[in-house]
Structure 1
Amino acid sequence: MPVKTATRNNLPSAARQLRQLQAPQQGRLRLALLLALGNTALLIGQYGLLAWLLNQWLQTSINDAFIPTAPRALYFVFIALAACMLLRPVLHYGRERLCVQASLEIRRQLRDRVLQKLARPAAQLAHSDSDGALTSRVLDQVDALDGYLQRYVVQAQLAVLIPLMLLVVTTPFSGLAALLLLLTAPLVPLFMIILGKAASASSRKQLQALSRLGGRFLDLVRGMRTLQHLQATEQAQEQIAQAAEGYRQRTMAVLRLAFLSSAVLEFFAALSIALVAVYLGLGLLGILPWAKASIPVPYTGALFILLLAPEFYAPLRQLGNDYHAKADAEAAMQELAPLLQDEGWQHQGTEPLPGTLPVSIQACDLSVQSTDGRSRLQLPSLHLQAGHSLLIQGASGAGKSTLLQVLLGALPHQGQLLVNGHAFARLELNGWLNGLDYLAQQPRFIEGSLADNLRLAAPQASEARMQAAMAQVGLADLVQQRGLDWPLAERGAGMSGGQLSRVALAQLLLRDRPLWLLDEPTAHLDPDSRRQIHQLLHQLSHGRSLILVSHSSAGLDWVDQRLQLGAPQTENSHA
C-alpha cells in the first residue's frame, strides 16, 4: 500500500492566519476593547453634561451671575464633567498600552516561529532565498504587522460597537436624526473597502520590492571586492539606484492611495454631519417643511446629538485609516507564508535506515501540492538503484528542486516513496539526513581560511585528509602554492566560481555520505568549467547514489539514468 504523508492542500488565508496569531493575546485585546468602550461611555456623559450646562446658561438671564447663584446640582455637574475629562485620557492610555504589549508579544512569537522553521536541518538545506530576502522577511515583514495589531484589531470592533452605542442614546431625543446617522454610516466603510483593495495590492508589491531590494543590496555588498576588481562598481550603483527608485515609486503609490482614501472618508463623514446639522438647525428655527412653527428636537437634545455626530463617524474614519495597516499585514503574511507553509507538518518517522549503503530510491505516483492547491510535482515513477546516478531535467517550475526537498524531509508529499524498500515516511529524519549530502547552486562559505571552510564539513579532519580531498578535486597545485591557511572573504570571495565549486566537492568528500543530492551546482559557471565539474563528479561519485539536477547535459554522458520531469518514466542512458 502506498504511504501518504499528512499534507495541507490549501494554506489558510492571510486574514485567517492573522486571527490565529491574535488568539494567545485575546485577553489583552478584549481588555483594551472594554477600556475603549468605557472611554466612549464617559464621552457620552461628558457631552450630555455639556449640552445641559449650555442649555442652563441660555435659560439664565444675562444680568444674573451664573456661577455664584447656581444651585448645588451645578457643582456636582462640574465635578462629574471634570472626572470624565480626567478619566478618558487614562482609559485611552490603558488601551494603547495593552495593544502595544499585545503587538510586541505576537510579533516576537511569530519571529520565533519563523526562526525555528529556518533552524530545522531540512529547511536550512532546502531553502533557496537569499540572505537579504530572508532578513527582510524576518525583520521588516514581521514588523509590518505592528499597525494592524496595535490599531486595526480593536478598531474593527469599535467601528461597530461605538456607533450602536451612540444610536441608542440618540434615538430617545430624535428618531429621525438617528435614522440619518444610520443611513449615511455605510458610505464610509463602502469606500474604505473599494479603495482598500487597491491599497492591499500596492502594499503587497511594495513588500516584494523591499525584499528584492534587500537581497540585491546584500549580494552587491558581499561582492564589492569582485566588483571593484572588475571595475563594475558604477554599474552596481546604477542597479541599486534603479531598484531604489522603483521602490520609491511603489511607496508613493501606496501613500497616494492612503491620502486619497482618507480624503474620501473625511468628505463623506463631513457631508453626513452637515446633513444632521442642517436638520437640527432648521428644526430649532421651526422652518422644517413637515414641522413648521414647531421644534421637533429641543435645544439640549439637538446640541447633544450635534456633539455626538462627529464621534459617530470617528470610529469609521479611523477604521478607514487603519485599513491600510490591515492591507500591509495581509501582504506581509502572504510573503511570510513560504516560511510557515508547512510549520504544522513535520516528518514523524522514527525508524533507522534499513539495508546496506549506498541507498536505492523508488517512487510511484509521487505528488506535492503548493500552498494554493496547485501541483508542484507529479512523478509517476522513479527507480534509482544503489550506487547509480540520476540526472533530473525539466523546465523551470517542473518540480526538480521540489523532489530534492521531499527527499530532504522538508515538504509533505503524497504517494509511494521507498528507500531501500522501506517507506520514507517511517525513517527517522536526523538519521536520514546524516546519511546524505546536499549541494545547492550557491555553496556556503564563511570568512576565514581555506581550512576553516573545509572543516565546516568535517570539524575533526586532519590536514593530510584535507589535502587529499583537495587533490581529488584537482586543487592540489593551489594548496601547494598558497596552503590551507589561504584566507577567504565572505561567501568565498578570493576564488573563482570553478574553484569554489571544487572546494564544495571537497567538502562532500570530507563528509563521505553515501547519497549526494546536487541542485544545479554548476548553474553559475561558464560552459567549460561546467563540463569539467560534471566530469569530476563522474570520478568522485563512484560507489555513491547520486541525484543531480542540471539544465545542461554537457559532460554528463556518464549518468546511469535520466529523468525528464513531465515524462512518464525514467530513461536508462546505457540502454
Structure 2
Amino acid sequence: MDKKKQRSLAQWLKGQSKLGKTWLMAAIGLAFLSGLFLVAQAALLANILHQLIIEKTDKSELWLSFVVLGIVVCIRALCSWGKEQAGYRAGEAVRLHIRKLILDKLHALGPATIQGRPAGTWASLILEQVEEMQDFFARYLPQMAIAVLIPFIILIAVFPLNWAAGLIFLVTAPLVPFFMALVGMGAADANRRNFKALQRLSGYFYDRLRGLSTIRLFDQAEAESNHLRIASEDFRKRTMEVLRLAFLSSAVLEFFTALSIAVTAVYFGFSYIGELNFGHYGMGITLFVGIFVLVLAPEFYQPLRDLGTFYHAKAQAIGAAESIVNFLDSTPEHQASGSAKVSDEAITIKATDLEVLSPDGAVLAGPISFEIREGQKVALVGQSGAGKTSLINAILGFLPYRGSLSINGLELKNADLAYWRKQVSWVGQNPQLFHGSVKDNVCLAAPMATDEQIQRVTKAAYADEFIQRLEKGLEHSVGDRASGLSVGQAQRIAVARALLQEGRFWVLDEPTASLDASSEKLVMESLDHATKDTTTLLVSHRIDQLGGCDNILVMQQGKLIQQGNFEQLKHEGVFAEMIQAVDRSDLDA
C-alpha cells in the first residue's frame, strides 16, 4: 500500500472519530489530570526520601506527607480507570457507526451484489475488521495527545530545577517516535495482507460448513480439508508477520527508552561524586532534585512507549479500513437513485431496449423490450441461465441497467427505490424464514400488524390449518433457515407474509418449485386469490400454471425471443418445444 493511500485511510479513520469526540476529550482530560498528579506524586516521594535520608527527620513527623501521597496515588488510579472507560466508549460509538454504514450499504446494494461473494467474507468485514478498529479509537487517538501533554508537563516541572536533565529529555524524546515510525512503515501492509487472508479463510470455511453434507456425499472431505489447511497456513503466516513487526517495534522502543533513562541516571551519578558540575543553576544538585527527576524519567518516556505500542493498533486499523472504505466508496450505477415516488396507481412496467448489467458492468440480459400493463398477470419463462433472475433484480432495483425501465411512467433510476420495494409483494422458491416465532416471520413486513390482520392472512395462505396444530400456535419457535417446519409450511408462511405487505405488484419466483402436490395446490389457490386484479410477474417452469396468464415472456440466453398468450405461443418456437418436453416427460413417467 502506497503512502498516499495510507494517509487517506488514516484521515478517514480520524474523520470517523468525530462521533466519539466527547469521550475522546474526556479520556485526554483525565490523562492530563493524571499527569499533574504524577508530578505531585514524584515531588512528595522525593521530599519524603530527602527528609528521611538527608534531613534525618523522624517518620512520625511526615505522616501528613504519607497520607497526601496515598491520596494522590488513588486519584491517579481513578483517572487511569476513567481514561480507559472513556476511550472504550469512544471506540464503541465509532464502531457502531461504521457497522451501520456497512449494513446500510449492503441493504442498498441488495441480494444480487451480496450473493456475489461468500457469506464468510461479509461476516469478516462486518465483525472482525470493524472490531480491529477499537484500539485505534480507544487508545491510539487519545495517546497521540497524551504523548505530547504528559512530557510537556514533566519538562515544565524539570527545567526550573535542572536544565541539563531537561535537555537530555528534550533531545532523546524524538528518538522514540522516529524509530517507531521507521519500524512501523510495513505494519499497515502486513495487516492488510492479514485481513485479506482472514476474509478468504472465513468465506471458504463458512461455505464448506454449509455444504458439509454434500461434500461428504461426494467423498470430497479430505480434498476440502487440504484446501482449508492451505488457507489456514496462509493466514498463520500473515499473522506471524504482523506479530514479528509488533515485537520488533516494542523491542526498539524499550531499547531507546532504557538508553535515555540510563543517560539521565549517569548524569546524576557523576554529579553526586563531583565529576560533573553543570545544569543546576549554581544551586547544587540535592537528593530531592535527583530523586524527583529520576522518578519522572520513566514516566516522561512512558506515553511515547505507549504510543509505540498502540501504533500497531493504527496499522491494524488502516489494514482493516482499506476493505471497508473500498466497499463503502463503491457506487454501482444503480445506486444513483432519485427521490421521486412511484405513483399510487395500479402498477405498469415498461422496458425499452433494456440491458441488465452486473455490478461490474457486464451485460447479463438484453436488449429487451416489453410492457406489463396494470392488473395483468405476466409469466416469465425460459431455461436456467436465460436471464430471468437478472431481469427481476433489475426491476426491483438491485442491478444496474442501460436503456429504459419505467414504473408507472417514472424511470426507475429516478425513483425512490426503498419506496418502490414497499409496493412489491414477493414470494420465492426457497422461503427465507428467520430465527424467532411464526408470528415474527409473518409480521416481517408489518411489525405493528394486529392479531386480526395476522389471522386473516394466515387463513388466506392456508397456513392456519397447521399453525393451529402447533403446540404454541403463532408463538411456535422457528429455527434458522426454517428448521422445525416442512418446506410447504414455510412456503405458506412466506405467502402470508407477502399478503400482509399488501403490495401493488407481486413477484412470484417459482413459488411451488419445492412443494408436493397437496401443498402446491393450496399455495397456488391462495396466490391466485391474492393476485386477482393485481399486476403480477410469475417466474415458472410449470407449463400447466401458465394458461391463465395474460402474457408470457419467453427468454433465452438473455434475449426476449417470444411473447404472447398461451394460445399464441403453444404451436411454435421455444415455448412449443418446452410444452413438448413436458409432454414427453409425462409419457416417460
TM range (shorter): 0.5 to 0.7
Task: Please tell me whether residue 38 in structure 1 is matched to residue 33 in structure 2.
Answer: yes
Alignment of 1:12-411 (within 5 A): 13-60=8-55, 66-68=58-60, 70=61, 74-120=62-108, 122-127=109-114, 128-288=116-276, 297-341=285-329, 347-352=337-342, 359-361=350-352, 385-386=369-370
Separation in 2 of the partners of 1:246 and 1:272? 40
Equivalent residue letter for 2:19: P
Asked whether the 8 Å contact 1:455–1:461 carries over to 2, the reply is no
Separation in 2 of the partners of 1:11 and 1:263? 24
> Residue 459 of structure 1: CA displacement?
5.8
Equivalent residue letter for 2:59: I
1:407-445 CA-to-partner distances (Å, cap 9, x unmatched) read 8656999x997759965543232465589999xxx9989
The 3 A distance-change label for structure 1 pair 296 and 83 is same
Equivalent residue letter for 1:359: K
Equivalent residue letter for 1:153: L
Asked whether the 8 Å contact 2:367–2:559 carries over to 1, the reply is no
Separation in 2 of the partners of 1:411 and 1:77? 74
Asked whether the 8 Å contact 1:387–1:543 carries over to 2, the reply is no
Equivalent residue letter for 1:189: P
The 3 A distance-change label for structure 1 pair 466 and 352 is closer
Q: Secondary structure at the match of 1:288?
A: coil
Asked whether the 8 Å contact 2:425–2:498 carries over to 1, the reply is no
> Residue 360 of structure 1: CA displacement?
3.2
The 3 A distance-change label for structure 1 pair 119 and 88 is same
Equivalent residue letter for 1:348: G
Report the more deviating stretch, 14-23 or 162-171: 14-23
> Residue 318 of structure 1: CA displacement?
0.6
Asked whether the 8 Å contact 2:357–2:399 carries over to 1, the reply is no
Task: Name the counterpart of 1:499.
Answer: none
> Residue 377 of structure 1: CA displacement?
5.7
Separation in 1 of the partners of 2:511 and 2:399? 34
> Identity over aligned residues, as a percent?
30
1:98-138 CA-to-partner distances (Å, cap 9, x unmatched) read 22233233323332333333334x43333322211111222
Report the more deviating stretch, 95-104 or 149-158: 95-104
Separation in 1 of the partners of 2:10 and 2:550? 44
The 3 A distance-change label for structure 1 pair 378 and 236 is closer
TM-score, normalization: structure 1?
0.66
Separation in 2 of the partners of 1:402 and 1:539? 13
Equivalent residue letter for 1:305: V
> Residue 35 of structure 1: CA displacement?
1.1
Separation in 1 of the partners of 2:44 and 2:305? 26
> Residue 310 of structure 1: CA displacement?
0.9
The 3 A distance-change label for structure 1 pair 36 and 451 is same
Asked whether the 8 Å contact 1:133–1:215 carries over to 2, the reply is yes
The 3 A distance-change label for structure 1 pair 515 and 303 is farther
Unaligned runs of 5+ in 2: 373-379, 381-388, 434-480, 500-505, 522-537, 566-573, 575-589
Separation in 2 of the partners of 1:377 and 1:515? 28
1:61-95 CA-to-partner distances (Å, cap 9, x unmatched) read 5xxx7225x4xxx3332222121122111111111
Unaligned runs of 5+ in 1: 1-9, 371-375, 390-400, 486-501, 517-532, 545-554, 556-575
Separation in 2 of the partners of 1:503 and 1:363? 19
Q: Count residues in correspondence.
A: 463
Q: Secondary structure at the match of 1:359?
A: strand
Asked whether the 8 Å contact 1:450–1:484 carries over to 2, the reply is no
The 3 A distance-change label for structure 1 pair 11 and 36 is closer
Equivalent residue letter for 1:105: A
